[in-house]
Amino acid sequence: MQARLGGSRPKGRTGETSVSPGFADHQVILGIDPSLRSTGYGVIRLAKPFPSTLAQGTIHCPREWPRSRCLARTAEVLREVIRKHRPTACAVEGLFFAQNLKTALIMGEARGACLLTAGEAGLEVYEIAARKVKQAIVGFGGAQKVAVAKMVQRILHLEKVPMADAADALALALALVQENRGLVWRAPKRI
Amino acid sequence: MQARLGGSRPKGRTGETSVSPGFADHQVILGIDPSLRSTGYGVIRLAKPFPSTLAQGTIHCPREWPRSRCLARTAEVLREVIRKHRPTACAVEGLFFAQNLKTALIMGEARGACLLTAGEAGLEVYEIAARKVKQAIVGFGGAQKVAVAKMVQRILHLEKVPMADAADALALALALVQENRGLVWRAPKRI
């Protein structure tokens, strides 16, 4: 996988290269794992022999903050990350299930803040289901979070295993690259 | 109700005035009815003999736009409205049901964009359930949308019945004032 992510373009399943039109132009990718009080983010730059990690972290918001303040804080940090590293594409976790409607709404609010921030900065935003991210990174859609984090560490040659939310965000960015290199059957959905 | 909204402070149910601490300071209120492609907004200023309508409208986003672009456009318009009219409090429709999780997520994203924009501008943001808005404006929680729009027209002395989304937003702003004037049993939830 590292060779793939390192910039080579392998043949797709059908024997044709199937890079999304224009996607190859994206060199710096932002991954976001949205959450009201602990949004993870990670920025990678495609490079050989392996992608470099420009930034990673978690945006913590105290429990006592009103939701609007958490969203504003999340956007503030993401804007700063985008300003500094200039990503051109963004992968957000596609949430296709939730425990209940209330959870879905709150998750949706966090996603909305992230999509808005990325959209305003002109990034192309894609969503990828968590299962597909795991499949892309670990090779198994039901992989545990810690397995994803360890594989992210390995692919990116990081000194430490990244924290859970940041690892998920980095995994999203890596998965977006992999999917657009024709290694997966269906291109991520632009949102 | 007009007298109440016009600035007088009637006694609450228990015979005591129960204005929320500090809420009486809010003179300009923004109501938002969030939606991915047709967010309604309305701004009222408390005045006698009836509140004045500073702005109202709907933010339309074409179906072919990606979601992130719709959210960015919604925030852009709301920011301009806030910049122009300087509201200090904001009422957002509290969505407590949805057809399914997907709808809840998309509604949540729209809400997230609105909460973020209001939060960044320093507004105090409150949510009120649609049913409570109808109860406050029409006196009946199951009232039809057209009845709400007509009552909004009457309370605000508007020449025309406002469009549905804008009417809902104006109704939210009016309901927030009414709830904080001690006429309703439970203060809106700050979010």
Residue A117 has pLDDT above 60, yes or no: yes
Q: B72, A190: Cβ pair inside 8 Å? A: no
User: What is the domain-level CATH number for residue B79?
Assistant: 3.30.420.10
Residues from chain A contacting residue B96 (CB–CB below 8 Å) = 101-102
Q: How far is A144 from chain B (nearest CA, A)?
A: 24
Determine the Cα–Cα distance for residues A32 and A44; give it in Å rounded to an integer.
12
Q: Where residue B15 falls among pLDDT bands split at 50, 70, 90? A: very low
Residue B86 has pLDDT above 70, yes or no: yes
pTM, two decimals, is 0.82
Give tens-digit pLDDT for B105-115: 899 999 999 99
Residue numbers of A annotated as active site: 33, 93, 165
Is B129 inside a domain boundary? yes
Ranges A147-151, B9-13, B170-174: which has the least confidence: B9-13
Query: Which has the higher per-residue pLDDT, B53 or A183?
Result: B53
**The pLDDT of residue A101:** 83
Rg (CA), chain A: 16
Instruction: Report the residue of A90, A116, A123, A124 to disrupt the B interface, i.e. the one with the largest count of B CBs within 10 Å.
Output: A116
Q: A68, B115: Cβ pair inside 8 Å? A: yes
Query: Which has the higher per-residue pLDDT, A124 or A99?
Result: A124
Is B189 inside a domain boundary? no
Determine the Cα–Cα distance for residues B124 and A83; give it in Å rounded to an integer.
28
Is A187 inside a domain boundary? no
Handedness of CA A17, A21, A22, A28 (dihedral sign): negative
Is B191 inside a domain boundary? no
Tokens linked to B175 = 């309901």
Determine the Cα–Cα distance for residues B122 and A110; give it in Å rounded to an integer.
18
Is A189 inside a domain boundary? no
Contacts of A105 by beta carbon, 8 Å cutoff, 6+ apart: B95, B98, B104, B105, B107, B108, B111
Q: Where residue B18 falls among pLDDT bands split at 50, 70, 90? A: very low
Determine the Cα–Cα distance for residues B54 and A12; give it in Å rounded to an integer.
57
Of the candidates B124, B165, B168, B179, the residue annotated as catalytic is: B165
**The pLDDT of residue B148:** 95
Q: How many helices (H) and strands (E) does chain A have?
A: 6, 6
The size of the A-B interface in CB pairs under 8 A is: 116
Domain extent for A77: 2-181
**The pLDDT of residue A191:** 79
Is B101 inside a domain boundary? yes
A2-28: average pLDDT = 51
| Contact criterion met (CB below 8 Å) for A80 and A72 | no
Ranges A71-85, A101-115, A172-186, B107-121: which has the least confidence: A172-186
Query: Which has the higher per-residue pLDDT, A42 or B183?
Result: A42
Determine the Cα–Cα distance for residues B19 and B184; give it in Å rounded to an integer.
10
Q: Where residue B1 falls among pLDDT bands split at 50, 70, 90? A: very low
Tokens linked to A27 = 């060199």
Is A190 inside a domain boundary? no
Q: How far is B159 from chain A (nearest CA, A)?
A: 34
Domains identified in chain B, total number: 1
Is B34 inside a domain boundary? yes
Q: Where residue B135 falls among pLDDT bands split at 50, 70, 90? A: very high
| Contact criterion met (CB below 8 Å) for B128 and B120 | no
Contacts of B103 by beta carbon, 8 Å cutoff, 6+ apart: none
Residue A110 has pLDDT above 50, yes or no: yes
**The pLDDT of residue B22:** 59
Nearest by CB to A125, from B66, B74, B111: name it.
Answer: B66
Q: A111, B111: Cβ pair inside 8 Å? A: no
